[in-house]
Amino acid sequence: MTELDTLADRFEAHRPHLRGVAYRMLGSLSEADDAVQEAWLRLARTDPADVQNLAGWLTTVVSRLCLDGLRSRAARREDLVGQHQPDRPGGAEPEPEALLVDEVGRALLVVLDTLGPAERIAFVLHDLFAVPFDEIAPVLDRSPATTKKLASRARLRVRGTPAVHPADLRRHRRIVETFLAASRAGDVEAILALLDPDVARRADRFAIPAGRPLQARGAQTVAEEIAVFGARARFAAPALIDGDVGIVVAPRGSLQLALTVRLVGDRIAGYDLIADPDVLSRLDLAVLG
């Protein structure tokens, strides 16, 4: 076995960890795999004597590659401001990505996507992988104190600030989670039990197919319509939206649709379907604890 073969075996032992780190930073399995592969190419060109701590060295390289990727992505978004945004991909998630999305959590991936590149790197490395700030700081080219502030600011964004009393938040979450479970099962009777008789559904023009009304009213009408939503409910998760419990629909962890829910007592009195990219970008999203 050559020295390069030995190095490759050592690298492969770290690949699952590196892939997990990169996926949480980038939110894309293909981009994460590209970053990990580039880290291997760089390692193969490096004198092993210069790598004292292989795990730390690889994590640093992958993190820097992800930071570059996030900055390039942010620049592309700025270039697209005011231009038509293509529809986001739908369809089933590839199995490896579905497993990672479930492991990380759809809502967390959506919220991480609202953070700036440096905030996201600092939060992921410290809060999700317990990397010390003095090791993260060189990746970001910041001081440890500044890196700590970046992670703290990101943490506040991720956790959010509920606009309702904790008891109401727990009740709202229970109702929304029950609604999601019934939607996934296509259980019309269970859905009807959660809806106010005069429930109203509103939608923007991006959220439903052309030709369908932007508003629907009445429990039976709305419950039957939810059978259509049920196909997308497998990509849905509860999240904090503008301070209260709502639903995000995020294939591959990429936000495609948001539902803001209005409750009266323990019944759903209405909900809005939001898919307009401009409106989605202005929502205050956070992860439910």
Q: Residue 224 pLDDT > 70, yes or no? A: yes
The chain-wide mean pLDDT, for the chain, equals 91
What pLDDT score was predicted for residue 74?
Answer: 77
Does 69 have pLDDT greater than 90?
Answer: yes
pLDDT of residue 79: 55
**81, pLDDT greater than 70:** no
Can you tell me the mean pLDDT for 224-245?
86
Backbone angles phi, psi at 214, to 5 degrees: -75, -10
Q: Which of 89-103, 133-147, 158-172, 228-242 has the lowest mean pLDDT?
A: 89-103
pLDDT value of position 82: 45
pTM of the model: 0.87
Residue 44 has pLDDT above 70, yes or no: yes
pLDDT of 229 reads: 67
CB crowding 33-50: b at 16 or more within 10 Å, else e: bebbebbbeebeeeeeee
Residue with tokens 């060109």: 45
Q: Parallel, antiparallel, or unpaired for β 236-241 and 285-286?
A: antiparallel
pLDDT at 154: 98
Closest by CA position to 199, among listed 224, 222, 225 = 222
pLDDT at residue 92 is higher than 90: no
